[in-house]
Amino acid sequence: MEFVYKALKKVIWFYAGIREKLSRGWITKNSSRIREWELMAYAYSKSPIGVIGGIIVFIVFILAVIGPIISWEPYWEYKIVINESYRYMPPCLTPSCSGNPLLGTDEWGRDVLAMSLYGMRISFVISIVVVLLGAPLGIVLGLLAGFKGGIVDEILMRVTDIFLAFPGLVLAIAFASVLPQRLRGVLEANSVLRSFFASLFGLREAEYGQIAALLSIWFAMVIVWWPGYARIVRGSALSVKEMPFIEAAKLSGLSTWSILFRHLLPNVISPILVMMTFDIATATLFAAALSFLGLGPQEPVPELGFMISKAGQFFPERSSHVVVYLGSLLLFIAIGWNLLGDALRDILDPRTRRAIEYRFEKEEKKRG
Amino acid sequence: MVSFLARRLITFIPTLIGVLLITYLIAYAIPADPVRAWVGEKLMNPQTLEQIRIKYKFNAPWYEQFVFLVQQLLTGQLEDPVRHRNVFTEITSRFGVTVEVAIVGFLFLIAIGIPLGLLAAVFKDTHVDFAVRIMALVGSSLPAFVLYYFLILLLFVYTKTTYLAGIPEPTIACRTTVSILPQRVPVLGHLASALGNVPMFAAMMCGEFSVVADTFKRLYLPGLALGLLNGGFIARIVRNSLLDALSAEFILYGKARGLRRLSVWKHALKNAMVPVVTVLGLNFGGLLSGAIIAETVFNIPGIGRYMYEAIMRLNFPVIIACTFLVAVIYITVNLVVDILYAVIDPRIRY
């Protein structure tokens, strides 16, 4: 997989070039860091499952970005209402459908393939944002608890315990049933927020009620997500903080926050990065499960889990194609992230580190 | 050990109070009027609404309501305002069903996960290992409800080997026998009667084994589904921890000393148990808290569905009681897993 390594190397040097332009001498100052990144890129390109996972994630990312733009059918037009000849047909698969959509239609006569493009944007945005908000919250609290110790640790860990003991799905369900009405009011009043979130999810502004439902799933999932990170980060922070370099940082009079983020965080981050990658897959499935239970957005939003639950009413006679296609789409997305996480775990594992370094140096020499 | 237990039990209290408080505050923040949701269209008139408001202290400030609910919860008087029955009677019968699902699911989990894990470790880096890896990957990436649909299609619609309505119950005579046990046998009777809340156990105690067989027939589909979803993951854990143990130095020493193969494996297996027991324990705890989606799709009247319905109808007393139960299960399972560590691994002492 030479091309992967070359492409990643180009990206690294492109980034380094930008930093060099911004502040002179960045490359010479950070040469060891660049070397480290190159090593990681090399290790990644040597792991076939990682490359496959990366390609899947890349495809999903591209489809999520351009999906709602290239989708050829508006999700808010119900064909069975508009078109008389459709009335008794959907959900149907191609030979019996008029217009021959590739993967059949759902119960409103909409093309499933076109709808799934909207759905992918929604699930991608939700899963990424949940992890990007939930993980930092957990990381900060975990670092603080581990580093400060004493009463701070005790209080933060008790709070974490409370949230861990809470049934996750129940908390999420409760939030998803409490928040939408309030968020709806906020979105109704604020047109900037409304258009921002509408374009983020690839929906129309008129659906602000559904956007509120999506946002409340966000909140609910972030609340469910952070305690796991806090627990793990605290554990590793406890062992790292006893090391001499932290002592030195303290003695040189650095502030707590700068010790936390510049010295403690880089030493505990690798298992967290792996966990975040796996969690994006879990979050995708969790969000789909919430909308499957009817707690997410409602009509006409084509959310993947919601569409599967509607297809379930006609299962298996008329809608097995919808369940199969959307189910495999969710499987595809989650497998991509899981494979990537597997590869990252191998790359960031210090035990396999020396072997990779050795191979890397040997190949560099061969190349000259 | 005793002081460890005491310390852990004391930290339970703030956690449980926190869980209750948060549940209550979420419920309190709901803008809708819960009383209207409870009563329904038919009985909706100002007097009834007012009566219920007074009964549940809705006109009092929030902390008084909270104290009232907790008091009723701890004294066991909490009433389900939708079904007009004691919450604990409802919860005991539904929890019994959830325990049955958890047991069947757990049996499948062990039956699928552990043999596959051992196979993958023995045939490391072969097709078997690869297949187990794929299974773990698909199991953790497949949306549960899609698998459930297809299992229903395969085992219910096409082959008709199971059914999806009701839960097999022991005969009334048997139920009575079990319920009066505490009066006949002093201490063990209470225990037996508590276990008898699980229909399967009650049937076993009376010797009605056809009911037990029926229960397995009814519940093997959700059990199989839960086992398939998590089995691959368990297999991976078994494989990795066994390989870790086999590559340890004491195994090399054992081999060098000329130990028989079987006893080398025995040592390795015992050392590989610790992570496996943790994951299995936490999994069982998760199953006991009610698999909401499985219970919804397979139409099982367990604790998960009860919770879900309660949330949908803003039924706070039930939500609070159920969350309390789930939190207690979670903490207890964690404690039990910690104690099991010490049992399996003599190096760990509390």
Q: How many CB atoms lie within 10 A of CB A89?
A: 16
Which amino acid is it at A221? M
pLDDT of residue A349: 77
pLDDT tier, A55 (very low <50, low <70, confident <90, very high otherwise): very high
pLDDT of residue B1: 72
Which amino acid is it at A224? V
Task: Collapse the DSSP code of A100 into the 3-class scheme (helix H, G, I; strand E, B; otherwise coil) and give the result.
Answer: coil
Strands (E), chain B: 79-80, 85-86
Contact with chain A for residue B243, Cβ under 8 A: no
Q: Report residue A233 as tokens.
A: 């980060």
Question: Is the CB of A305 less than 8 angstroms away from the CB of B308?
Answer: no
Question: Is the CB of A165 less than 8 angstroms away from the CB of B327?
Answer: yes
Q: Which of residues 163-182 of B touch A (CB under 8 A)?
A: none
pLDDT exceeds cutoff 70 at A368: no
Give which of B12, B15, B154, B315 to mutate to test A binding, by max A Cβ within 10 Å: B15
Contact with chain A for residue B149, Cβ under 8 A: yes
Question: Is the CB of A181 less than 8 angstroms away from the CB of B149?
Answer: no
Q: Select from A156, A69, A180, A52 the least CA-distant residue to A114.
A: A69
Question: Is the CB of A289 less than 8 angstroms away from the CB of B293?
Answer: yes
CB-closest option in A158, A161, A170 to B307: A170
Q: How far from A136 is each of A131, A142, A286, CA to CA, in Å? A: 8, 10, 19
pLDDT of residue A4: 84
Summarised one tens digit per residue, pLDDT across range A315-348 is: 777 778 888 889 999 999 999 999 999 888 888 8
pLDDT exceeds cutoff 90 at A95: no
Q: Select from B172, B171, B168, B170 the least CA-distant residue to B214.
A: B168
CB-closest option in B19, B26, B32 to A174: B26
Contact with chain A for residue B330, Cβ under 8 A: yes
Q: How big is the CA angle at A291 (ends B153 and A316), to the nearest 5 degrees?
A: 20
The 3-state secondary structure of A246-275 reads HHHHHHCCCCHHHHHHHHHHHHHHHHHHHH
Q: How far apart are CA A360 and CA A338, in angstroms?
A: 26
Give which of B146, B323, B330 to mutate to test A binding, by max A Cβ within 10 Å: B146
Q: Select from B240, B327, B35 the least CA-distant residue to A170.
A: B327
Contact with chain A for residue B137, Cβ under 8 A: yes
Which amino acid is it at A2? E
Task: Please list, in sequence order, all residues whose beta carbon lies within 8 angstroms of the beta carbon of residue B80, skipping any fewer than 6 positions away.
Answer: B86, B87, B90, B315, B317, B318
- Phi, psi (5° rounding) for residue A167? -65, 120
Highest mean pLDDT out of A52-61, A202-211, B77-86 = A52-61
pLDDT exceeds cutoff 80 at A350: no
Q: How many CA atoms, within 13 angstroms, populate the side-chain half-sphere of residue A241? A: 19
Residues A47-91+101-367: name the CATH superfamily.
MetI-like (1.10.3720.10)
Contact with chain A for residue B188, Cβ under 8 A: no
CB-closest option in B145, B157, B327 to A166: B327
User: Average of pLDDT values for A108-123?
Assistant: 86
Residues found in chain A? 368
Q: How many CA atoms, within 13 angstroms, populate the side-chain half-sphere of residue B169? A: 13
Task: Please list, in sequence order, all residues whose beta carbon lies within 8 angstroms of the beta carbon of residue B252, skipping any fewer than 6 positions away.
Answer: none
**A73 vs B234, higher pLDDT:** B234
pLDDT of residue B163: 81
Q: How far apart are CA B20 and CA A162, in angstroms?
A: 9
Q: Select from B288, B269, B295 the least CA-distant residue to B334.
A: B288
Q: Which residue of A has its CA nearest to B303?
A: A170
Q: How far apart are CA A278 and CA A340, in angstroms?
A: 8
What DSSP line would sit under B226-285, residue for residue?
Answer: HHHHHHHHHHHHHHHHHHHHHTSHHHHHHHHTT--HHHHHHHHHHHHHHHHHHHHHHHHH
Q: Kindly tell me the burial class for residue B186, based on how many C-beta atoms sit within 10 Å of its own C-beta (0-12, 13-18, 19 or more).
A: exposed
Contacts of B314 in chain A (CB under 8 A): 177
Domain boundaries, chain A: 47-91+101-367
pLDDT of residue A120: 92
Strands (E), chain A: none
Contacts of A181 in chain B (CB under 8 A): 31-32
pLDDT tier, A357 (very low <50, low <70, confident <90, very high otherwise): confident
Q: How far from A117 is each of A75, A202, A288, A353, B283, CA to CA, in Å? A: 10, 10, 15, 40, 35
pLDDT exceeds cutoff 80 at A23: yes
**How would you classify residue A111: left for phi > 0, otherwise alpha for psi between -120 and 50, otherwise beta?**
beta
Contact with chain A for residue B158, Cβ under 8 A: no
Q: How far from A163 is each of A2, A6, A11, A166, B20, CA to CA, in Å? A: 46, 44, 40, 5, 11
pLDDT tier, A96 (very low <50, low <70, confident <90, very high otherwise): low
User: Average of pLDDT values for A105-131?
Assistant: 87
pLDDT of residue A330: 93
CB-closest option in A164, A293, A312 to B149: A312
pTM reported for the whole predicted model? 0.88
- Find out whether A41 and A321 touch, Cβ atoms under 8 Å: no
- How many CB contacts within 8 angstroms connect chain A with chain B? 121
CB-closest option in A166, A177, A323 to B323: A166
- Residue for token pair 């939708």: B82
- Find out whether A11 and A44 touch, Cβ atoms under 8 Å: no
Task: Please list, in sequence order, all residues whose beta carbon lies within 8 angstroms of the beta carbon of residue B51, skipping any fewer than 6 positions away.
Answer: none
Name the average pLDDT for chain A.
84
Question: Is the CB of A174 less than 8 angstroms away from the CB of B146?
Answer: no
CB-closest option in A161, A316, A330 to B143: A330
The pLDDT profile of chain B, 350 residues, written as one tens digit per residue, is 778 788 878 888 888 888 888 888 777 776 666 777 677 666 667 777 777 777 777 777 777 778 888 888 888 777 777 777 888 888 888 898 999 999 999 999 999 999 999 999 888 888 988 888 888 889 889 998 899 988 888 888 888 888 888 888 888 888 888 888 878 777 788 888 888 888 888 888 888 888 888 888 888 899 999 999 888 889 989 998 998 888 888 888 988 998 888 888 888 888 888 888 888 988 888 888 878 888 888 888 888 888 888 887 778 888 888 888 888 888 888 888 888 887 877 776 66
Q: What is the ipTM of this complex?
A: 0.85
Give which of A162, A184, A274 to mutate to test B binding, by max B Cβ within 10 Å: A162
pLDDT of residue B32: 64
Summarised one tens digit per residue, pLDDT across range A237-293 is: 888 888 888 888 888 888 888 888 888 888 888 888 888 999 999 999 988 988 888
Q: Which of residues 264-293 of B touch A (CB under 8 A)?
A: 289-290, 292-293
pLDDT of residue B110: 93
